[in-house]
Amino acid sequence: MRERFVSAAARERLRVMLEEVESPAGRRFAIFVQLLIFLSLIAVFIETFRNLPRWLDVALSAFERMVILIFTAEYLARLFTARRPLAYAFSFMGLVDLAVIAPFWLLGADVRALRALLLLRLLKLLKLHRYTRPLRHFATAWRLVREDIIVFSVMVALLLYLAALGIWHFEHAAQPDKYANAFDALWWSVITITTVGYGDMYPVTVGGRILTMLVVLIGLGLVAVPSGLLASAFQEIRRRETRRGRDEDDPPPEKS
């Protein structure tokens, strides 16, 4: 049925642009989407400032609608070009895409914080280059733990972002001087998750205190994860080099 409206060749070109990041068209589209995601996340933070100029408020509102329209068009295009549309619709990334756009169309709800989930797409352009031996060692260590590090980094970024917006929501009315906008709240988010706790910003509302307890408990388990993963990877590299050196030092067996 899809061939009635778009030729198979055109649909395949569209699929390549959407799915194959290594292709020229796919690379350009991926960079465009990721730039849009970054700008969208920055816009969410800017909108937390009070007394924004009227023109900026209008521009941010228009940008909000444009982002939703683009993500909606992309979601529909992915459904259209997918060899198995239902498989994409119920895949992890398909559900992420739907979670970002569906509330806006169904409820007219403000779900800008959900755009942080689209940071997961940035992983597609992750590249690793090798120039020197130490960097090659680091590259090898990265390959050993990259999936763990990527998942960890994305989760930390999401936690920082959502915690900042959460504490701003609870505290900005009670402490407008300390939580004037989400950028101020991001400072609280970082020092709380890393368990530094300078004491210059602390919650006074019930919701803010409950959120703080949750963030601190999560942060206790996050601080040592990256260093532990990389340390174990470098140890594995050293073990491999040691075994390789022993194999090279051993004389070849004599032929009888």
CATH number, domain of 143, equals 1.10.287.70
Instruction: Write down which residue in 75, 100, 121 finishes a domain.
Output: 121
Residue 167 is predicted with a pLDDT of: 92
Domains in the chain, number: 2
**pTM of the full predicted structure?**
0.50
Tokens of 204: 């006074």
Section 167-189 average pLDDT? 89
Give residue 48's domain range: 1-121
Please name the helix (run of DSSP H) or strand (run of DSSP E) that holds residue 161, with its range, or none: helix 133-171
CATH number, domain of 8, equals 1.20.120
Looking at the structure, tell me whether residues 108 and 136 fall in a common domain: no
Give pLDDT tens digits for 191-222. 888 777 676 788 889 998 999 899 888 887 77
From the CB of residue 165, how many other CB atoms can be counted at a distance below 10 Å? 20
Query: Is the Cβ–Cβ distance between 41 and 115 less than 8 Å?
Result: yes
Residue 126 is predicted with a pLDDT of: 40
Query: Is the Cβ–Cβ distance between 145 and 233 less than 8 Å?
Result: yes
